[in-house]
Structure 1
Amino acid sequence: METQAILALLAFGVVSSFTPGPNNLMLMASGANFGVRRTMPHMMGVVIGFSLMIVILGLGLFGLFHAWPASFTVLKVVSVVYTLYLAWKIARAAPPGTGNPEGKPMTFLQAAAFQWVNPKAWTMGLSAITLYAPDARLVSILIIAGVFGFMSLASTGTWMMMGLSIRRWLSSHTRLLAYNYSMAALLVGSIALAV
């Protein structure tokens, strides 16, 4: 991959990784509700899961989706339904220690698996492969996965810390409820833009 293409990929990675989307909004909500230590598995699941998704897409899954166009429709329906379910869970999240079973952060495996139904992740991954690895060379695919792995680490960490920074303000049940409903609404809005 040429230097100019890598710089363009970096710019694409920054813009697409740091803008609001399901991962970032859920990590902000998790940071606010559960803190850094309990949110870290969720964050690392996003970073590793998305990077792995890019590699798998680049090594052939991308072609499968083009061969069977109906799969995009199936993917959109599954993505929307699952993201609506996650928005519902965010809206119902309660502070840790309240005994509310809905008050659990996403695990590493759940976050990694979520990448496969995350509309923004699909859009980012497919766009990056189309633009920066049209030849499907392994080196190009690994560079894209590495760039997005680094950008995901930076962006998800930033969004989690933004959530953590307002955690004290959310000590009021009313403010926490309003925040969680707002995050759920933004999550639903983020999928509306992607599908």
Structure 2
Amino acid sequence: MNELLPFLTYCALMSGTPGPNNMMLVASGAHHGYRRTLPAILGMVSGVALLTFVMCLGLGALFIAWPALHAALRLAGTLYMLVLAWRLVGQPVALDRPPQALGFVQAALFQAVNPKSWLRAVTVASVFMPAQFSLPAGALTVSLAGAVVGFPCISGWALFGSGIGRLLSSPGRRRAFNAIMAASLALLALMLLY
């Protein structure tokens, strides 16, 4: 319990606090509702779990050996988030044509360039790996436990967006919402760069 409680708390904090995933889920929830956002939620949870599993198996050693690889990944993630923010601003605001929902595969693959997901995976691999398990068993345990904790945390953001979506009954309100979400995502991207 002394090791489990800090780990679960860390996973809840990383999943529940604002970040690129959660900003995208608020926007998707607002435009599509929770049910159509669920594939993105499952994709994000699966992508983070897979990233954590691979990191726990030793991928983190590459970042120690080649720090430039970490810097390149951070830059790629920042640029991708800026592109997502730009696309969010440019999305159609017609109420009868909402933007396309983020799918499972897109959301899972986004974790490969999401700096917050990498930070979480590196921290779990370096701080929370259970010493009493074999390497694969420990990696699987923390990856699955993190997914179980993360699912309800990020679902809350999609539900919040779904609630906000009811207020976006005019193109002007929807345009303003998209601009706010895009600015938030761009700001997060730039903050993660430094």
SS in 2 for 1:4: coil
RMSD: 1.8
Q: Runs of 4+ in structure 1 displaced over 4 angstroms?
A: 95-100
Checking the alignment, whether the CA contact within 8 Å between 2:94 and 2:171 is kept in structure 1 is no
Name which of 111, 118, 121 aligns with 1:115.
Answer: 111
Given that 1:31 and 1:162 are in contact with CA atoms closer than 8 Å, whether structure 2 keeps it comes out as yes
SS in 1 for 2:2: helix
1:69 counterpart residue number: 67
CA-CA distance at 1:24 after TM superposition: 0.6
Written as runs of structure 1 = structure 2, the 5 A alignment for 1:8-47 is 8-47=6-45
Is 1:126 matched up with 2:126?
A: no
Counterpart contact for 1:27–1:39, Cα < 8 Å: yes
Matched length: 191
The AA in structure 2 aligned to 1:32 is A
Q: Deviations over 1:86-115 (max 9, x none)?
A: 111222233576457xx1111111100000
Whether the 8 Å contact between 2:23 and 2:185 is mirrored in structure 1 is yes
Deviation for aligned residue 1:147: 2.3
SS at match of 1:13: helix
Once the two structures are superposed, residues 60-80 of structure 1 have per-residue CA deviations (whole angstroms, 9 ceiling, x without a partner) of 211122222210111011111
| Aligned residue number for residue 50 of structure 1 | 48
User: TM-score, normalised to structure 2's length?
Assistant: 0.91
Query: Which residue identity does 2:179 align to in structure 1?
Result: Y
Q: CA deviation at 1:55?
A: 0.4
Identity between Structure 1 and Structure 2 (%): 35
Matched, 1:177 2:175: yes
| C-alpha contact (below 8 Å) 1:120/1:191 kept by paired residues | no
Cα distance in 2, alignment partners of residues 177 and 148 from structure 1: 35
**Unaligned residue ranges in structure 2 (runs of 5+):** none
Change (3 A) 1:96 1:172: closer
1:134-183 C-alpha deviation (Å, 9 max, x unpaired): 86822322222122201221122110000001111111111111111111
> Partners in 2 of 1:186 and 1:97 — Cα distance?
22
Distance in 1 (alpha carbons) for counterparts of 2:147 and 2:93: 30
Is the CA contact 2:25–2:158 (under 8 Å) kept in the aligned structure 1?
A: yes
- Conserved? CA contact 1:41–1:108, under 8 Å: yes
Distance 1:53 1:96 in 2: 37
Q: 1:8 to 1:120 in 2, by over 3 A?
A: same
TM-score normalised by L of structure 1: 0.90
User: Which residue among 150, 153, 159 is the counterpart of 1:152?
Assistant: 150
